[in-house]
């Protein structure tokens, strides 16, 4: 006998989005704020439909999602200040709700999975909102001023580095020019040393040659300076006088003088020949 079906409810087993609206939340400082909308993207596995519907009815999402969102948001707000909930930790609320819901569902309703959670910015009292807006405006001004200061600092740093690079470049060029001057001076010094050495050698050679010539002339003169040659030179010098005065027996004196000159000349020639011959031998 087939049972008669009187009522039924469809159960979605694909991705669906549940919206929880106007969730009140009290912060640790006592300020009550409202979240306009919390979206929970979830899906139910087909094999888990019977157990979950049997335990939580076809409206399982009311118990497992809607009510849990209210509870977990209030738990989060109660331990945080308005500043943290509204600004500092707001970007972490989505992940906190997803992680907390999924941890409870694993125990209470296996097969129901949370895909994502999206939370809108909460509503806060108007006076507080204006204060936050003014504070954000001041922060924006401060941020702009800081960015402007950083820009000026970066420009100054860039200019400083450019000046350092230019100074290093000039210093390097100066060092290269200085080394080039040193090399040129060293080259000129070596050239001067070579020239001085050449001049010294030339002067030494001339001095040696002059000394050798003088020595040879002295040797030749020494060979000439024999007693006979000196006697001859005396009479030759006497013979060159234009006037000669004699006293006494002039005839005998002249004859004696001529005889002595002739005898001296003969002896001088013989002595010179002997010396030349002996020098060749």
State mean pLDDT over 67-74. 92
Q: What pLDDT does residue 279 have?
A: 40
**pLDDT tens track for 96-123:** 999 999 999 999 899 999 999 999 998 8
| pLDDT computed for residue 277 by the predictor | 43
26 within some domain: yes
Say what the alpha-carbon torsion angle 71, 77, 80, 83 is, to the nearest 10 degrees: 160
Has residue 132 got a pLDDT over 90? no
Q: Is 241 inside any structural domain?
A: no
Residue 189 domain flag: no
What is the model's pTM? 0.48
Residue 65 inside a domain? The answer is yes
The verdict on residue 107 lying in a domain is: yes
Inform me whether the pLDDT recorded for 51 exceeds 60: yes
What is the number of structural domains in the chain? Answer: 1
Residue 278 within any structural domain of the chain: no
Residue range 187-198: mean pLDDT, rounded: 88
pLDDT at 201 over 50: yes
- What whole-number percentage of the chain has pLDDT above 90? 24
Question: What pLDDT, on the 0 to 100 scale, is given for residue 92?
Answer: 92
Residue 275 has a pLDDT of: 46
Q: What is the pLDDT of residue 135?
A: 81
Q: Does residue 139 register a pLDDT over 80?
A: yes
Q: What's the pLDDT band for 276 if we cut at 50, 70, 90?
A: very low
Q: Which domain holds residue 112?
A: 16-124
CATH code, domain with 83: 3.30.479.30
Model pLDDT, residue 39: 93
pLDDT reported for residue 97:
93
Say if 96 falls within a structural domain.
Answer: yes
pLDDT score of 91 more than 60: yes
* 74 within domain boundaries: yes
Least reliable range by pLDDT among 80-89, 124-133, 137-146: 124-133
Mean pLDDT computed over 69-79 = 92
């Amino acid at each position: 006998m087939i049972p008669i079906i009187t009522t039924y409810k469809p159960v979605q087993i694909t991705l669906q989005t549940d919206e929880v609206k106007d969730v009140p939340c009290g912060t640790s400082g006592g300020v009550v704020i409202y979240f306009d909308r919390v979206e929970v993207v979830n899906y139910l596995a087909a094999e888990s439909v019977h157990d979950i519907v049997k335990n939580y009815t076809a409206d399982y999402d009311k118990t497992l999602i809607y009510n849990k969102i209210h509870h977990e948001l209030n738990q989060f707000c109660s331990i945080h200040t308005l500043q943290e909930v509204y600004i500092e930790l707001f970007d972490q609320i989505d992940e906190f709700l997803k992680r907390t819901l999924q941890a409870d569902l694993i125990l209470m309703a296996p097969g129901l999975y949370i895909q994502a959670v999206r939370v809108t910015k909460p509503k806060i009292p108007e006076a507080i909102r204006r204060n936050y807006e003014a504070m954000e405006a001041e922060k924006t001004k401060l941020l702009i001023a800081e960015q402007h200061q950083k820009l000026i600092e970066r420009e100054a740093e860039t200019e400083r580095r450019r000046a350092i690079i230019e100074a290093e470049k000039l210093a390097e060029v100066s060092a290269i020019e200085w080394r080039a001057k040193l090399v040129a001076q060293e080259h000129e010094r070596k050239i001067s040393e070579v020239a001085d050495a050449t001049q010294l050698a030339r002067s030494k050679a001339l001095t040696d040659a002059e000394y050798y010539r003088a020595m040879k002339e002295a040797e030749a003169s020494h060979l000439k300076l024999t007693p006979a040659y000196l006697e001859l030179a005396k009479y030759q010098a006497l013979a060159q006088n234009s006037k000669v005065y004699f006293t006494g027996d002039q005839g005998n004196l002249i004859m004696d003088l001529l005889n002595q000159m002739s005898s001296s000349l003969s002896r001088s020639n013989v002595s010179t020949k002997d010396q030349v011959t002996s020098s060749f031998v």
